[in-house]
C-alpha cells in the first residue's frame, strides 16, 4: 500500500470517526438498545467500549502505523510470516467484504429515504411503518438503491479516498453533530418524551440477559469498526508524530456522543408517537420522518439530514472497501482501479440476497435467520469479537512488550503510566471480558 499520510491529526480523527460512526451509531445502536433493555444496554455498551473497545482500537492502530501496510501484510511482517497470526488480518478482510455486502443494503435504504423526501412521499399524513415496509420489501427498489450506494463507494475508492474523505469530513461530520443536537432538542420537547429519556438513561438490571451482553460487546466492536482490520488500514497512513492515545480517545467519545444523541432523538419520539422501542432495524426510518414532520420545513430538513447520514454511511463503506482493496493490491497502485471495480461489483452481487431478505426471500432462513440477519450475527457477534480477542493476544503476549511500548509512546506526551494501563487492559481486561461473554453464550457459565 502506498504510504500516503493524512494531512493533519484532526483530519485522521474525523476520517476514522466517520468510518467508526456510520450506521453503527446512527442506525444500529438505537434499535439494538431498543431490543435489549434500553439504558442497561447503553451502560454495558459504554463499559465494553471503554474497557474492551478502546484497548483493541489502540492495538489495531499499532499494527497499522508500525508497519505502514495493509492488514494482511502488516501481520505477516509483525508475526514474521507465522501463518496462524496472519489469519487475524485475513479474517478481518473477509469480514469487511461480508459486512459491506449487507451494510450497503441499509445504505440503499438511506438513499431511498432521501428520494422519498424530495419526491413528496413524506408528509404529516404518511403511514411511516407502511412506507418503510414497502421500501425494503420491493425487490426492484432494494437492489437498485443498493447498487447506487455501491457504485458511489466504488467510484470514490478507485480514485483513492484519503484526500476527498478527509476534506469532506472536516465539514460534514460537524454538520451531522449539529443536526443531531437540533433533532434531540426537538424530540425531547415532544409530549411524553420523558418516558423515552428514562428508557435510555435509567437502567433496569433485570433486563440483562446473555444476549444483552453478547449484543453489547458486538455493538462496541461494530461501533468502532473493530475486528475487521479497517482501523489498522487507516492507521497505516499515520506518521510517527500522531498521538495514538489522544486520537483513539477522541474517536471513541465522538462515537459515544453520536450514539447518545441518536438515542435522545429516537426514544423520546418513540414514546411520544406510541411506537415500540423494540421495533427493530426500521426504527430510525419510521420514527425520524415523523419527528421531522413536527418541525417547520420538516421535509426539507429531513432530506438534508439524510444527505448527512448518507455521507456518514459512505465514509464507513469507503473504509470497508479500502481495507479489502489494500489487502488485494498490496503496494501496486496501478491495479487499484481494476480491482476496486471488480471486487466492489462482487460485493454487490453477494449482497443481493440480503437486500431481498425483507421481501421475496423473507422466508428463506438459515439456522432460523434471514440472510441479512445471519450475516449481521456472524460479523458482529462472532467474527469481530474473535478477531479482537486474537488481536489482544497477539499484541499483548506475542509481540515484544518493550517494542510495543516504545512505538505507542511515539508522538505522545502522555506519561508512561497511560501506556502501562492500556497494556494491562489489553492483556487482561479485554480478553477476559470477551471470553466471559462467549462462555456465557455457550452455556458454560450463567450470568443470569
pLDDT digits (tens, 9 = 90+) for 282-303: 778 888 888 888 878 888 888 8
Cα 338 from Cα 313, distance rounded (Å): 24
Helix (H, G, I), strand (E, B), or coil: what is residue 70? coil
**Max Cα separation, the chain?**
64
Domains and CATH numbers, the chain: 9-441 (1.20.1740.10)
Distance, CA of 10 to chain centre: 20
Cα 81 from Cα 37, distance rounded (Å): 45
Q: How far is CA 114 from CA 121, 212, 262, 302, 411, in A?
A: 10, 32, 18, 8, 42
Which helix (H) or strand (E) segment holds residue 403: the answer is helix 401-409
Residue count of the chain:
448
At 386 the pLDDT is 87
| pLDDT band, residue 446 (cuts 50/70/90) | low
The structure's pTM equals 0.88
| pLDDT band, residue 1 (cuts 50/70/90) | very low
At 183 the pLDDT is 85
At 139 the pLDDT is 94
Cα 144 from Cα 105, distance rounded (Å): 10
Q: Which residue has the cell 434531540?
A: 184
Average pLDDT on 145-153 reads 96
Q: Which tens digit of pLDDT belongs to each residue from 63-108?
A: 999 998 989 999 999 998 677 899 999 999 999 999 999 999 999 9
Contact 70, 1 (CB under 8 A): yes
Least confident of 150-154, 167-171, 271-275, 380-384: 167-171
Instruction: Tell me the average pLDDT of the chain.
Output: 86
Cα 245 from Cα 42, distance rounded (Å): 24
Q: To the nearest 10°, the Cα dihedral for 252, 38, 187, 123?
A: 110
Amino acid at each position: 500500500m502506498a504510504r500516503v499520510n493524512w494531512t493533519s491529526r484532526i483530519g485522521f480523527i474525523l476520517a476514522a470517526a466517520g468510518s467508526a460512526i456510520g450506521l453503527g451509531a446512527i442506525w444500529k445502536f438505537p434499535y439494538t438498545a431498543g431490543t435489549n433493555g434500553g439504558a442497561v444496554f447503553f451502560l454495558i455498551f459504554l463499559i465494553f467500549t471503554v474497557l474492551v473497545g478502546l484497548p483493541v482500537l489502540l492495538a489495531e492502530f499499532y499494527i497499522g502505523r508500525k508497519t505502514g501496510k495493509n492488514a494482511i501484510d502488516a501481520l505477516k511482517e509483525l508475526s514474521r510470516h507465522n501463518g496462524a497470526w496472519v489469519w487475524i488480518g485475513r479474517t478481518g478482510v473477509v469480514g469487511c467484504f461480508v459486512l459491506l455486502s449487507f451494510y450497503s443494503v441499509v445504505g440503499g435504504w438511506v438513499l431511498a429515504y432521501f428520494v422519498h423526501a424530495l419526491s413528496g412521499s413524506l408528509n404529516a399524513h404518511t403511514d411511516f411503518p407502511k412506507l418503510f415496509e414497502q421500501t425494503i420489501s420491493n425487490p426492484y427498489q432494494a437492489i437498485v438503491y443498493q447498487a447506487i450506494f455501491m457504485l458511489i463507494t466504488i467510484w470514490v475508492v478507485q480514485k483513492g479516498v484519503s484526500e476527498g474523505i478527509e476534506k469532506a469530513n472536516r465539514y460534514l461530520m460537524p454538520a451531522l453533530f449539529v443536526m443531531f443536537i437540533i433533532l434531540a432538542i426537538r424530540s425531547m420537547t415532544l409530549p411524553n418524551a420523558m418516558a423515552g429519556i428514562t428508557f435510555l438513561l435509567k437502567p433496569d438490571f433485570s433486563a440483562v440477559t446473555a444476549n444483552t451482553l453478547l449484543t453489547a460487546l458486538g455493538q462496541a466492536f461494530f461501533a468502532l469498526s473493530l475486528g475487521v482490520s479497517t482501523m489498522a488500514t487507516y492507521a497505516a497512513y499515520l506518521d510517527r508524530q500522531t498521538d495514538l492515545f489522544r486520537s483513539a480517545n477522541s474517536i471513541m467519545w465522538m462515537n459515544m456522543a453520536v450514539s447518545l444523541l441518536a438515542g435522545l432523538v429516537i426514544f423520546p419520539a418513540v414514546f411520544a408517537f406510541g411506537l415500540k422501542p423494540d421495533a427493530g432495524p426500521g426504527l430510525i426510518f419510521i420514527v425520524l420522518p415523523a419527528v421531522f414532520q413536527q418541525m417547520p420545513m420538516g421535509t426539507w430538513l429531513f432530506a438534508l439530514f439524510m444527505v448527512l447520514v448518507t455521507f456518514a454511511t459512505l465514509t464507513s463503506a469507503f473504509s470497508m472497501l479500502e481495507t479489502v482493496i489494500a489487502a488485494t493490491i498490496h503496494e501496486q497502485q496501478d491495479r487499484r482501479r481494476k480491482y476496486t471495480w471488480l471486487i466492489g461489483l462482487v460485493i454487490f452481487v453477494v449482497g443481493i440476497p440480503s437486500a431481498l431478505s425483507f421481501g421475496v426471500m423473507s422466508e428463506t432462513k438459515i439456522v432460523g435467520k434471514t440472510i441479512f440477519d445471519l450475516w449481521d450475527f456472524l460479523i458482529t457477534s462472532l467474527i469481530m469479537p474473535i478477531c479482537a480477542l486474537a488481536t489482544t493476544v497477539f499484541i499483548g503476549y506475542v509481540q515484544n512488550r518493550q517494542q510495543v511500548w516504545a512505538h505507542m509512546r511515539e508522538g505522545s506526551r502522555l506519561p508512561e503510566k497511560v501506556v502501562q494501563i492500556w497494556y494491562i487492559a489489553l492483556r487482561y481486561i479485554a480478553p477476559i471480558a470477551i471470553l466471559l461473554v462467549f462462555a456465557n453464550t455457550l452455556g458454560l457459565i450463567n450470568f443470569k
